[in-house]
């Protein structure tokens, strides 16, 4: 939410993420990377924790957003993926569109809040969303 959303009480109130939940344990494995990332960001962050990585929608999905993920101690994003895999802009646009569609498809599923680096972030523990994101980023590449 922007400044006016916060001023007028439109900020979404989410239940806290249970620290004993599988999603919280997945986030904990990437704590160092996530804290450094969240500390430098000034945008809305929505995390999708997986076993081998944590994915993050940045901004206002499903329309205006970026994507980052953390794997093997490193931060990755669409730009690094394109560079590493030699993907075209067209391929990146298709991936971004599919990620937005996946987000929208699972918007009705429960989400929670947690605090990372002193900032409140949203967590999507959905297995279905996680599977879709993994499929789009790692299979379509």
2 pLDDT tier (thresholds 50, 70, 90): very low
Distance in angstroms (rounded) separating the CA atoms of residues 81 and 25 = 26
pLDDT attached to residue 12: 77
- The string of pLDDT tens digits covering residues 18-37 is 999 999 999 999 999 999 99
Q: What is the mean pLDDT of residues 37-57?
A: 97
Residue 67 neighbours by CB distance under 10 Å: 23
Whether 4 shows a pLDDT value over 60: the answer reads no
Residue 118 neighbours by CB distance under 10 Å: 8
pLDDT attached to residue 1: 43
Q: What percent of the chain has pLDDT over 70?
A: 91
**71 strand-pairing partners:** 74
pLDDT attached to residue 135: 95
69 within 8 A of 41, measured Cβ to Cβ: no
Distance in angstroms (rounded) separating the CA atoms of residues 131 and 124 = 12
What are the phi and psi torsion angles at 95 (to 5°)? -60, -45
Whether 11 shows a pLDDT value over 80: the answer reads no
Instruction: Classify residue 16 by its DSSP letter.
Output: B
Q: At what angle do helices 22-29 and 31-40 cross, to 10 degrees?
A: 80
Distance in angstroms (rounded) separating the CA atoms of residues 133 and 115 = 23
8 pLDDT tier (thresholds 50, 70, 90): low
pLDDT attached to residue 127: 95
139 pLDDT tier (thresholds 50, 70, 90): confident
99 within 8 A of 66, measured Cβ to Cβ: no
- The string of pLDDT tens digits covering residues 99-137 is 999 999 999 999 999 999 999 999 999 999 999 999 999
């Amino acid at each position: 939410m922007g400044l006016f959303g916060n001023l007028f009480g439109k900020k979404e109130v989410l239940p806290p993420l249970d620290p004993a939940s599988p999603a919280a344990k997945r986030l904990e494995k990437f704590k160092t990377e996530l804290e450094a990332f969240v500390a430098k960001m000034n945008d809305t962050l929505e995390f999708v924790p997986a076993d081998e990585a944590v994915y993050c929608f940045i901004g206002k999905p499903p329309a205006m957003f970026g994507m980052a993920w953390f794997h093997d101690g490193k931060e990755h994003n669409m730009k690094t993926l394109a560079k590493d895999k030699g993907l075209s802009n067209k391929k990146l646009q298709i991936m971004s569109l599919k990620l937005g569609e996946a987000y929208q498809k699972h918007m009705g599923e429960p989400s929670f809040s947690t605090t990372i680096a002193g900032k409140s972030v949203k967590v999507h523990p959905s297995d279905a969303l996680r599977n879709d994101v993994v499929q789009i980023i790692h299979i379509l590449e």
